[in-house]
């Protein structure tokens, strides 16, 4: 069993409220839910939609066809009507939209009139619509009422009761006027409720549970909700969330705070990351731990501000002048984003390097359901030298030439030892130098000694499929869910597997898993990327010498959807 609901309308019509409420209700019932949002860079008007797919088995991608289309404006009907699956329904309010459709897939529900009859505010058409949709699927209002009571408490009993009453009216209207619709009725799962989380929330939660104490950023879609999440937790857990004047300031503030002894982070999108690259390089030479979330949107320049792309891979890999070690992690799901954020802090602190979590709008805003997150095995170890540890030291040098390149990281002011860091090349004490032998020794320490150790920390790609695959799909980052589903659908008739990378720099070594051997024995290898130039395929070739035999690239600012991608892969399979 699986269904897709698409809610369409103008910005400002409450799509987000309807979508959020429905995903919450469905996940609490125990359904597996996946939602994604398609919105324009504007506050009012235009056309946006919120799509929810729910099923009784795990899902992690969106599909093209919809079972229920809730049209809050006439534009939605024109744009999406052709996506309706046979037997699907379009829910709309003929009076409000000013047009009556007679085709049998249309369900006219007087959303506005129901609100009026209940003496409610027009904003509550959203609640009527939620009631109607729940009615269509044969569900009840119990969870809706619970959500209203937990989120609208401040608005008072009257507002809560009216919302529930109009939702009931919407649900009843479906039952009374369209009793013949039984085809969409679902059976509630026996399992307990699922957790529902977006990619950005998972990064925020991961940072919180990894001891992030300082977060500075400049708001930029689609990264901003990470800052919002942490700001919401700031008081409870002692975090400073500072909105900087620009991204240059944001990363420099984070470095100042990290130098001061606390775990620090920033987040941005491509344009902001461009401004941060100078500071990234500063983190490199000063060896100050910092975590940066780069949540991509399509460029160049302002590009498509609210849409998705994997176009910044090379930019992030090579961002920052000069040569210094960094780590780039590319989660494919919120669960991976959570764990990789923990890993980002762990590696940043352990090796005193910048670590970048690269995500994109699709992962950032999409909601996934999971049975839960493992918070028992987080890697939280404090690598800094604080009060007691410092008191016992007879001398201290910030850039002490240790065997493994990792020098002791002391907190300034915590003892009599002075902590000096410099953006110039420096000696062991942190004072600027220009002589060649010290320069060579410092490059060796920062880069040559640390890099092999960092390389060992990088997890190999995950492989799903037969050991002797004829076809291997290759991907990284947010395409994980859709690739996994496509692969699962093809595996019945093909010897096909999926090789997916979530840790891309340093590029995974072959000692842990010889994925190149796996690729070499396949007749067809297709690298699937949400960008125009196939950056990951190029990276794979640069690092391993292996060239994929085909590429599928999508760069329209939209995510891959299951059915279209299936079609494209089938084209390649036919050529086998």
Q: Which residues bind other proteins (CB under 8 A)?
A: 27-28, 193-197, 201, 205, 208-209, 211, 213-214, 216, 233-235, 237-240, 242, 244-246, 248-250, 252-264, 278-279, 282, 286, 372-373, 375, 380, 382, 384, 411-424, 430-432
User: Minimum distance from CB of 127 to other proteins (Å)?
Assistant: 22
Nearer to other proteins, 368 or 536 (CB): 368
Cis peptide leading into residue 506 (ω within 30°): yes
Q: Which is nearer to other proteins, 10 or 349 (by Cβ)?
A: 349
**Among residues 439 and 572, whose Cβ is nearest to other proteins?**
439
- C-alpha dihedral, 62 to 65 to 69 to 71, nearest 10°: 90
Q: Name the minimum Å distance from CB 417 to other proteins.
A: 7
Q: How far is the CB of 384 from other proteins (least distance, A)?
A: 8
136/212 with CB nearer other proteins: 212
Side-chain half-sphere exposure of 403, counting CA atoms within 13 A: 0
Question: Taking the complex as a whole, how short is the minimal distance between the CB of residue 350 and other proteins, in angstroms?
Answer: 14
To other proteins, the closest distance from the beta carbon of 376 in angstroms equals: 8
Residue 528 host element (H or E): strand 524-529
How far is the CA of 441 from the CAs of 67, 433, 446, in angstroms? 64, 12, 9
Cβ proximity to other proteins: between 342 and 531 the closer is 342
Distance in Å, CB of 249 to other proteins, minimum: 4
Q: Toward other proteins, which CB reaches closer, 398 or 494?
A: 398
Closer Cβ to other proteins, 173 or 370, answer by number:
370
Eight-state DSSP code of residue 192: P
Separation CA 20–CA 197 (nearest Å) = 11
Cβ count near 489 (within 10 Å):
16
Tell the smallest beta-carbon distance from residue 262 to other proteins (Å).
Answer: 5
- Compute the least distance from the CB of residue 238 to other proteins, in Å: 5
How far is it between the farthest Cα atoms of the chain?
Answer: 87
Pairing of strands 471-476, 496-501: parallel
- DSSP state string for 309-344: --TTHHHHHH-SSS----EEE--SSHHHHHHHHHHH
Phi, psi of 191 (to 5 degrees): -65, 165
Distance between CA atoms of residues 477 and 329, nearest Å: 8
- Report whether 270 contacts 220 (CB < 8 A): no
Residue closer to other proteins (CB basis): 264 or 473? 264
Q: How far apart are CA 541 and CA 133, in angstroms?
A: 49
CA 499 – CA 253 distance, rounded (Å): 38
Rounded CA separation 254/250 (Å): 6
Select 95 or 231, whichever has its Cβ closest to other proteins: 231
């Amino acid at each position: 069993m699986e269904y897709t609901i698409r809610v369409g309308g103008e910005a400002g019509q409450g799509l987000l409220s309807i979508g959020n409420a429905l995903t919450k209700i469905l996940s609490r019932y125990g359904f597996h839910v996946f939602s994604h949002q398609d919105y324009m860079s504007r506050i009012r008007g235009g056309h946006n939609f919120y799509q929810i797919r729910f099923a009784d088995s795990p899902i992690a991608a969106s599909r093209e066809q919809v079972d229920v289309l809730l049209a809050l404006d006439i534009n939605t009907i024109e744009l999406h009507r052709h996506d309706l699956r046979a037997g699907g329904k379009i829910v709309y309010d003929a009076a409000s939209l000013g047009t009556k459709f007679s085709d049998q897939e249309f369900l006219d529900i007087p959303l506005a009139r129901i609100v009026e009859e209940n003496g409610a505010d027009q904003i509550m058409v959203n609640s009527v619509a939620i009631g109607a949709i729940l009615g269509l699927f044969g569900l009840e209002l119990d969870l809706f009422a619970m959500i209203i009571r937990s989120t609208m408490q401040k608005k008072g009993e009257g507002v809560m009761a009216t919302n529930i009453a109009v939702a009931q009216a919407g649900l009843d209207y479906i039952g009374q006027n369209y009793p013949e619709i039984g085809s969409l009725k679902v059976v509630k799962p026996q399992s307990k409720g699922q957790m529902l989380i977006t990619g950005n929330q998972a990064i925020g939660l991961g940072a919180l549970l990894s001891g992030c104490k300082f977060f500075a950023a400049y708001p930029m879609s689609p990264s901003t909700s990470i800052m919002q999440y942490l700001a919401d937790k700031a008081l409870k857990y002692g975090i400073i969330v500072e909105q900087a004047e620009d991204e240059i300031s944001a990363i420099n503030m984070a470095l100042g705070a990290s130098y001061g002894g606390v775990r620090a982070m920033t987040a941005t999108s491509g344009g902001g990351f461009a401004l941060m690259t100078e500071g990234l390089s500063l983190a490199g030479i000063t060896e100050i731990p910092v975590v940066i979330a780069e949540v991509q949107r399509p460029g160049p320049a302002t590009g498509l501000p609210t849409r998705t792309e994997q176009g910044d891979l090379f930019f992030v890999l090579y961002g920052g002048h000069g040569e210094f070690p960094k780590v780039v992690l590319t989660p494919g799901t919120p669960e991976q984003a959570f764990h990789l954020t923990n890993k980002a802090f762990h590696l940043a602190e352990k090796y005193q390097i910048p670590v970048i979590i690269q995500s994109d709008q699709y992962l950032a805003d999409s909601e996934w359901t999971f049975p839960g997150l493992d918070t028992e095995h987080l890697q939280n170890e404090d690598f800094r030298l604080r009060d007691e540890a410092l008191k016992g030291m007879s001398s201290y040098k910030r850039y002490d030439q240790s065997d493994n390149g990792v020098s002791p990281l002391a907190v300034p002011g915590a003892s009599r030892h002075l902590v000096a860091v410099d953006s110039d090349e420096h000696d062991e004490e942190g004072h600027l130098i220009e002589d060649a032998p010290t320069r060579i020794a410092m490059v060796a320490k920062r880069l040559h000694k640390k890099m092999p150790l960092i390389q060992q920390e990088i997890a190999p790609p995950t492989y799903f499929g037969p050991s002797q695959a004829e076809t291997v799909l290759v991907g990284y980052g947010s395409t994980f869910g859709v690739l996994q589903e496509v692969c699962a659908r093809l595996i019945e008739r093909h010897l096909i597997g999926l090789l997916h990378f979530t840790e891309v720099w340093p590029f995974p070594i072959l000692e842990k898993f010889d994925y190149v051997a796996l690729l070499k024995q396949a007749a067809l290898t297709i690298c699937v990327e949400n960008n125009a130039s196939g950056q990951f395929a190029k990276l794979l070739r640069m690092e391993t010498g292996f060239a994929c035999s085909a590429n599928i690239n999508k760069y329209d600012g939209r995510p891959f959807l299951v059915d279209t991608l299936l079609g494209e892969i089938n084209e390649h399979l036919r050529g086998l």
